[in-house]
Protein backbone atom coordinates (compact mmCIF):
# COMPACT_ATOMS: atom_id res chain seq x y z
CA UNK A 1 0.00 0.00 0.00
CA UNK A 2 2.98 2.32 0.40
CA UNK A 3 3.35 2.35 -3.38
CA UNK A 4 -0.23 3.59 -3.75
CA UNK A 5 0.40 6.46 -1.34
CA UNK A 6 3.50 7.57 -3.19
CA UNK A 7 1.56 7.54 -6.46
CA UNK A 8 -1.12 9.70 -4.87
CA UNK A 9 1.49 12.25 -3.83
CA UNK A 10 2.56 12.80 -7.44
CA UNK A 11 -0.95 12.53 -8.92
CA UNK A 12 -3.15 15.02 -7.04
CA UNK A 13 -6.07 14.73 -9.47
CA UNK A 14 -6.16 10.96 -9.02
CA UNK A 15 -5.91 11.32 -5.24
CA UNK A 16 -9.20 13.24 -5.22
CA UNK A 17 -11.02 10.00 -6.11
CA UNK A 18 -10.72 7.49 -3.23
CA UNK A 19 -9.80 4.03 -4.49
CA UNK A 20 -8.34 5.21 -7.81
CA UNK A 21 -4.66 4.84 -8.51
CA UNK A 22 -2.43 4.76 -11.53
CA UNK A 23 0.80 2.90 -12.24
CA UNK A 24 2.88 4.05 -15.24
CA UNK A 25 5.19 1.64 -17.07
CA UNK A 26 3.62 -1.42 -15.45
CA UNK A 27 4.95 -3.62 -18.25
CA UNK A 28 8.04 -3.04 -20.40
CA UNK A 29 8.08 -2.35 -24.14
CA UNK A 30 8.91 -5.93 -25.08
CA UNK A 31 5.99 -7.28 -23.03
CA UNK A 32 3.76 -4.59 -24.53
CA UNK A 33 4.60 -5.54 -28.11
CA UNK A 34 4.26 -9.26 -27.42
CA UNK A 35 0.83 -8.72 -25.91
CA UNK A 36 -0.41 -6.83 -28.96
CA UNK A 37 0.84 -9.60 -31.25
CA UNK A 38 -0.81 -12.25 -29.04
CA UNK A 39 -4.11 -10.36 -28.98
CA UNK A 40 -4.16 -9.86 -32.74
CA UNK A 41 -3.72 -13.60 -33.25
CA UNK A 42 -7.08 -14.18 -31.50
CA UNK A 43 -10.55 -13.79 -33.05
CA UNK A 44 -12.38 -10.50 -32.49
CA UNK A 45 -16.11 -10.03 -31.88
CA UNK A 46 -17.87 -7.27 -33.82
CA UNK A 47 -21.16 -7.13 -31.88
CA UNK A 48 -20.36 -3.65 -30.48
CA UNK A 49 -19.27 -0.41 -32.14
CA UNK A 50 -15.73 -1.47 -31.21
CA UNK A 51 -14.07 -4.87 -31.48
CA UNK A 52 -13.79 -6.96 -28.31
CA UNK A 53 -12.47 -10.28 -27.01
CA UNK A 54 -13.83 -12.10 -23.95
CA UNK A 55 -11.80 -14.48 -21.78
CA UNK A 56 -12.78 -16.57 -18.76
CA UNK A 57 -16.45 -15.54 -18.86
CA UNK A 58 -18.48 -13.87 -21.56
CA UNK A 59 -20.16 -10.68 -20.38
CA UNK A 60 -23.68 -9.83 -21.61
CA UNK A 61 -23.61 -6.07 -22.25
CA UNK A 62 -27.35 -5.73 -22.88
CA UNK A 63 -28.51 -7.70 -19.85
CA UNK A 64 -25.54 -6.48 -17.77
CA UNK A 65 -24.95 -9.92 -16.34
CA UNK A 66 -22.52 -12.78 -16.15
CA UNK A 67 -23.50 -16.28 -15.06
CA UNK A 68 -21.97 -19.71 -14.50
CA UNK A 69 -23.17 -20.93 -17.90
CA UNK A 70 -21.33 -18.03 -19.56
CA UNK A 71 -17.94 -19.44 -18.60
CA UNK A 72 -15.67 -19.84 -21.61
CA UNK A 73 -12.88 -21.59 -19.74
CA UNK A 74 -9.65 -20.81 -17.95
CA UNK A 75 -7.75 -17.71 -18.96
CA UNK A 76 -5.15 -18.52 -21.60
CA UNK A 77 -1.61 -18.73 -20.25
CA UNK A 78 -0.57 -15.29 -21.51
CA UNK A 79 -3.46 -13.65 -19.64
CA UNK A 80 -3.16 -15.90 -16.60
CA UNK A 81 0.43 -14.72 -16.13
CA UNK A 82 -0.72 -11.09 -16.12
CA UNK A 83 -3.61 -11.84 -13.75
CA UNK A 84 -1.19 -13.51 -11.33
CA UNK A 85 1.25 -10.59 -11.61
CA UNK A 86 -1.50 -8.10 -10.72
CA UNK A 87 -2.37 -10.20 -7.66
CA UNK A 88 1.25 -10.70 -6.58
CA UNK A 89 1.88 -6.97 -6.94
CA UNK A 90 -1.15 -6.37 -4.68
CA UNK A 91 -3.16 -4.50 -7.29
CA UNK A 92 -5.96 -7.07 -7.01
CA UNK A 93 -7.02 -8.92 -3.84
CA UNK A 94 -7.72 -12.11 -5.83
CA UNK A 95 -6.55 -13.45 -9.18
CA UNK A 96 -8.84 -12.22 -11.97
CA UNK A 97 -10.85 -14.86 -13.80
CA UNK A 98 -12.44 -12.62 -16.46
CA UNK A 99 -10.77 -10.34 -18.99
CA UNK A 100 -12.28 -8.17 -21.70
CA UNK A 101 -10.04 -6.82 -24.44
CA UNK A 102 -11.35 -3.66 -26.13
CA UNK A 103 -9.99 -2.08 -29.28
CA UNK A 104 -10.44 1.65 -29.84
CA UNK A 105 -9.67 3.15 -33.23
CA UNK A 106 -9.25 6.96 -33.42
CA UNK A 107 -12.69 8.52 -32.94
CA UNK A 108 -14.04 5.61 -30.89
CA UNK A 109 -14.79 5.76 -27.18
CA UNK A 110 -16.99 4.22 -24.52
CA UNK A 111 -19.90 5.89 -22.76
CA UNK A 112 -19.47 6.68 -19.07
CA UNK A 113 -20.56 3.82 -16.85
CA UNK A 114 -19.97 1.86 -13.66
CA UNK A 115 -18.95 -1.75 -14.21
CA UNK A 116 -21.73 -4.17 -13.26
CA UNK A 117 -21.84 -4.21 -9.45
CA UNK A 118 -23.46 -7.63 -8.86
CA UNK A 119 -21.27 -9.21 -11.56
CA UNK A 120 -17.75 -8.34 -10.44
CA UNK A 121 -15.87 -7.91 -7.18
CA UNK A 122 -14.61 -4.60 -5.85
CA UNK A 123 -11.32 -4.17 -7.69
CA UNK A 124 -11.00 -3.69 -11.46
CA UNK A 125 -7.73 -3.12 -13.32
CA UNK A 126 -7.26 -1.86 -16.87
CA UNK A 127 -3.99 -2.10 -18.81
CA UNK A 128 -3.47 0.23 -21.79
CA UNK A 129 -1.65 -0.78 -24.97
CA UNK A 130 -0.96 1.18 -28.14
CA UNK A 131 -2.11 4.77 -27.95
CA UNK A 132 -2.66 6.85 -24.84
CA UNK A 133 -5.92 8.68 -24.15
CA UNK A 134 -7.85 10.49 -21.45
CA UNK A 135 -10.36 8.53 -19.38
CA UNK A 136 -12.95 10.81 -17.76
CA UNK A 137 -14.16 10.09 -14.24
CA UNK A 138 -17.53 11.69 -13.39
CA UNK A 139 -19.24 11.55 -10.00
CA UNK A 140 -22.82 10.27 -9.88
CA UNK A 141 -24.47 13.69 -9.61
CA UNK A 142 -22.30 14.83 -12.55
CA UNK A 143 -20.94 17.90 -10.74
CA UNK A 144 -17.31 16.84 -11.18
CA UNK A 145 -15.41 15.46 -14.15
CA UNK A 146 -11.75 14.51 -13.74
CA UNK A 147 -9.74 13.47 -16.80
CA UNK A 148 -6.95 10.94 -16.18
CA UNK A 149 -4.30 10.33 -18.84
CA UNK A 150 -3.77 6.62 -19.54
CA UNK A 151 -0.38 6.11 -21.14
CA UNK A 152 0.61 2.96 -23.03
CA UNK A 153 1.89 0.22 -20.67
CA UNK A 154 0.17 1.78 -17.66
CA UNK A 155 -2.53 0.35 -15.43
CA UNK A 156 -5.38 2.15 -13.71
CA UNK A 157 -6.95 0.49 -10.66
CA UNK A 158 -10.54 1.14 -9.55
CA UNK A 159 -11.76 0.09 -6.12
CA UNK A 160 -13.90 1.45 -3.32
CA UNK A 161 -15.53 4.80 -4.25
CA UNK A 162 -13.74 4.94 -7.62
CA UNK A 163 -15.44 1.65 -8.46
CA UNK A 164 -18.96 2.35 -7.16
CA UNK A 165 -19.46 6.12 -6.96
CA UNK A 166 -17.68 7.41 -10.05
CA UNK A 167 -18.54 6.70 -13.69
CA UNK A 168 -15.68 6.26 -16.13
CA UNK A 169 -15.70 6.68 -19.89
CA UNK A 170 -13.67 7.73 -22.92
CA UNK A 171 -14.90 10.52 -25.17
CA UNK A 172 -15.26 9.53 -28.84
CA UNK A 173 -12.76 11.84 -30.54
CA UNK A 174 -9.63 11.62 -32.68
CA UNK A 175 -7.30 13.63 -30.47
CA UNK A 176 -6.76 14.80 -26.90
CA UNK A 177 -5.33 18.05 -25.59
CA UNK A 178 -2.63 17.29 -23.03
CA UNK A 179 -0.47 19.95 -21.38
CA UNK A 180 -1.67 22.45 -23.95
CA UNK A 181 -0.70 20.28 -26.92
CA UNK A 182 -2.98 18.40 -29.30
CA UNK A 183 -2.18 14.67 -29.28
CA UNK A 184 -3.59 12.56 -32.10
CA UNK A 185 -5.03 9.24 -31.02
CA UNK A 186 -3.90 6.05 -32.65
CA UNK A 187 -5.17 2.52 -32.14
CA UNK A 188 -5.57 1.72 -28.45
CA UNK A 189 -6.18 -1.70 -26.92
CA UNK A 190 -7.20 -2.13 -23.28
CA UNK A 191 -7.28 -5.26 -21.14
CA UNK A 192 -9.71 -5.10 -18.22
CA UNK A 193 -9.19 -7.64 -15.42
CA UNK A 194 -12.07 -8.56 -13.11
CA UNK A 195 -13.10 -11.25 -10.63
CA UNK A 196 -16.56 -12.64 -11.29
CA UNK A 197 -19.21 -12.96 -8.57
CA UNK A 198 -21.36 -16.08 -9.01
CA UNK A 199 -24.10 -16.97 -6.50
For residue 89, the domain's CATH number is: 2.60.120.1520
Whether residue 115 is contained in a domain is answered as yes
Query: Is the pLDDT score of 3 beyond 50?
Result: no
Question: Taking all residues of the chain, what is their mean pLDDT, rounded to a whole number?
Answer: 89
Specify if 157 maps to a domain. yes
- Domain of 96 in residue numbering reads as 2-194
- Within a domain: 199: no
Chain centroid to Cα 132, Å, comes to 12
Does 186 map to a domain? Answer: yes
Total domains in the fold of the chain: 1
Does residue 190 lie in a domain region? yes
How far is C-alpha 5 from the geometric centre of its chain's CA atoms?
21
pLDDT > 70? residue 43: yes
Q: How confident is the model at residue 190 (pLDDT cuts 50, 70, 90)?
A: very high
Note the pLDDT of residue 58. 86
Half-sphere exposure of 45 (CA within 13 A, CB side): 13
Determine, yes or no, domain membership for 57: yes
Nearest to 166 by CA among 3, 20, 34, 60: 20
**Does 100 fall in a domain?**
yes
66 found inside a domain: yes
**Secondary structure element (H or E) that encloses residue 184, with its range:** strand 181-184
State residue 2's pLDDT score. Answer: 33
The predicted pLDDT at position 63 comes to 62
Amino acid sequence: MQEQLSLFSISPTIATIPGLYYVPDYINEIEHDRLLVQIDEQPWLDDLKRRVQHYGFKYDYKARRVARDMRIGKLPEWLEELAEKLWKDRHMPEIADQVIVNEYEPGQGISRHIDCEPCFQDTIVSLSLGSGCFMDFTNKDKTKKIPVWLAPRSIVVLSNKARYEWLHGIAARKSDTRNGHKVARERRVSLTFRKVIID
